Structure 1
Amino acid sequence: MKKLFYSAFALALSANFALANQNSVTDSKETLEIVNAKPQPLSFIKNYKGKTVKASKLLDNPIVKARLIKLIGNDDYVFLKKNWNVEEPISVVGNTAEASGCKVHDCGNTNFILLFDITDNIIQVGIRKNGGKALIISEDPERSIPGDLEEWSKRNQ
């Protein structure tokens, strides 16, 4: 009787282990699909033409927010959002949208530029923090720097 009990226990344990492994594989596949998912399109940004980043709540848009955090990190995203005080309206020329902003009373030392290539679905960001070196970060590091971003970089050296 003990042998039968131990055999049944061992069988139940191994079935449970197999089921746990199957769920683990499924979870891994789902995670892999999420990580490798293509970024959502940026075409909606054309609707923000002439509005400011703050008025349009662009930095709170779930698509933009997630992509910016992935691109520049949470700390720089929080810094950018906190210091995006003075701004120009969002411009859209062709399939490129651009927004720029800066810290109130300190635009020369802390300022930002966001470029959205709607056709190629790429975000590029320029950040200058507290008078430091201007950084340009792109979702496509191989991509050439557009003229507006290059001019911004030169002004912030």
Structure 2
Amino acid sequence: MRSKQFVFEIMTMNKHLAVLYVVAACILGCKEPVVNKDSKEKGNTPPPATDTMITIADTVEPTQVASWKSFEQFEGKYIVETGMLQQEPLRSRIKALLDAENPAFTERFDVTPPVELENDLLYNQGCRRHFCGADEAALAIDMRRDIIYIGIAVNGVVKLYSEKGDSAFPEKLKRWKMKFPS
């Protein structure tokens, strides 16, 4: 009888050991991978297992700006009468884009046609009184992509500016530039 009880105790102990091994395997298997202490100090993190980045050709990240909606009211009106160039966010963004060229730009809107709005592109051009054909400026705002484009002609020499390093100038601005020989 004693041997049966001894065998029973050994079997019970084997079951307990088996359970203990399973629990230990689960605990060890669920631990996070150990990160090398040196890599933490250097700021390195291990790369992800899978790269999910998709590359695209366009580097301009558009952001929707609700404030351009209010600029639609300037369509068909004259910049001088409306003070459009002094309205925010246009005023501060032109200043940031042009810096020292800002006065040359704004003084070239003495004589202008009405503001045009076509396919979410707000456009206008102007010139200094008595100097049309030589001292002009043009403004194009891509309201959908939230990018301001500017052209300034000084003595017939044109420079183009754009926000976000965008070089896809609108057709209207390109046509405006073509009338200058430079």
Q: Calculate the TM-score normalised by the size of structure 1.
A: 0.69
Contact 2:97-2:163 within 8 A present in 1 as well: yes
Which one of the candidate residues 23, 36, 50 is aligned to 2:76? 50
Q: Matched residues in 2 for 1:142 and 1:118: separation?
A: 14
- Alignment equivalent of 2:90, drawn from 23, 45, 64: 64
Shift of 1:43: 2.2
Matched, 1:151 2:179: no
Q: Could you say what secondary structure the match of 1:108 adopts?
A: coil
Aligned to 1:78: 103
- Aligned residue for 2:126, secondary structure, equals strand
How far apart are residue 126 of structure 1 and its match? 0.5
Output the CA distance in 1 between the equivalents of 2:79 and 2:142: 16
Question: Which residue identity is paired with 1:134?
Answer: V
Structure 1 unaligned runs (5+)? 1-37
Tell which structure's C-alpha radius of gyration is larger. 2
Query: How many residues are aligned here?
Result: 118
- Residue identity over aligned pairs, in percent, reads 21
CA gap 1:105/1:71 in 2 versus in 1, 3 angstroms: same
In the aligned structure 2, how far is the partner of 1:148 from the partner of 1:70?
23
Partner residue of 2:144?
119
The answer as to whether partners of 2:64 and 2:145 remain within 8 angstroms in 1 is no
- Secondary structure of 1:150's match? helix
Partners of 1:83 and 1:96 in 2: CA distance = 20
Unpaired segments ≥5 residues, structure 2: 1-62
